[in-house]
Amino acid sequence: MRRLFFFSNNKNKIIEIKKIFNNFNLELLSLIDLNISEEPEESGRTFEENAKIKSDYGFLKTGISCFADDSGICIESLKWKPGVLSKRFLNNFKSNEACFKSIIKSTKKNNKQNAYFKTSISLTMKGNQNVIFNGKIDGKISEQVKGRYGFGYDPVFIPKNYNKTLAELRTKEKNEISHRSIAVTKLINFLIN
């Protein structure tokens, strides 16, 4: 079995990614497994740059092939932001609910519903050697906050050709279409070929 280090502290992401990896003969380690608490500053201007900062850091700390992701939502009514600042944007509000209501209000005011989620994964197997995998899912902002599954912006994002938010889909169903699963599947195909 090959060991692979997923550089993340996000419990929801770890659960989601471990489920995608279940069918492959790869042992997936996380920061918790390796007892690492410090993380580098995500100072990149793109999802790819932030993912690379984290995967390089993880590889340098452990010597184990490491991958990291950076994901976010880009919303047309917010001039395609928050993008790489998605987590900070959400944390600027007193609650997720307050953030979602603000997004829905902006969408209605500007009459622009389009949005997309993007994930970039960086895999570091040797010092300064990275392979990048991207995943993207188009959709729109819902008119209401809906669903109790998922995390982050899932309760306000309706994928294209769906009438439910990502938070209304169970993990298995979400993993069939999500931006993260698209990028992770590309990563897995690269590893097994």
Q: What are phi and psi of 129, to 5 degrees?
A: -120, 115
* pLDDT tens digits for range 40-74: 999 999 999 999 999 999 999 999 999 999 999 99
Residue-wise burial string across 73-104, b where 16 or more C-beta atoms lie within 10 A, e elsewhere: bbbbbbeeebbbebeebbeeeeebeebbeebb
Q: Does 154 have pLDDT greater than 60?
A: yes
Q: What was the pLDDT predicted at 93? A: 97
d(CA 44, CA 52): 9
Which residue would you say has higher pLDDT here, 78 or 18? 78
d(CA 52, CA 102): 31
Give the Å distances, CA to CA, from 26 to 1, 20, 83, 175: 5, 11, 31, 18
Q: Does 83 have pLDDT greater than 80?
A: yes
Q: Helix 179-192 to helix 11-21 angle, to the nearest 10 degrees?
A: 50
> Would you call 25 helix, strand, or coil by DSSP?
coil
**Contacts by residues 155-159 (CB-CB < 8 Å, ≥ 24 positions apart):** 155/96, 155/100, 156/100, 156/103, 156/104, 157/73, 157/115, 157/117
Which residues lie closer than 8 Å to 10 by C-beta, 6 or more apart? 151
Task: Pull the structure tokens for residue 4.
Answer: 């692979």
Q: Does 129 have pLDDT greater than 90?
A: no
d(CA 159, CA 11): 23
| 69 included as an active-site residue | no
Catalytic pick from 56, 69, 70, 154? Answer: 70
CATH number of the structural domain spanning residue 169: 3.90.950.10
Lowest-pLDDT range of 12-16, 34-38, 105-109:
12-16
Which residue would you say has higher pLDDT here, 170 or 120? 120
Closest C-alpha to 153, from 91, 69, 96, 79: 96
- How sure is the predictor about 172, in pLDDT bands with cuts at 50, 70 and 90? confident
Mean pLDDT of the chain: 93
Lowest-pLDDT range of 38-42, 109-113, 171-175:
171-175
The residue range of the domain holding 127 is 2-192
Q: Tell me how many domains the chain contains.
A: 1
Under DSSP, the state recorded for 102 is H
Q: What was the pLDDT predicted at 1? A: 53
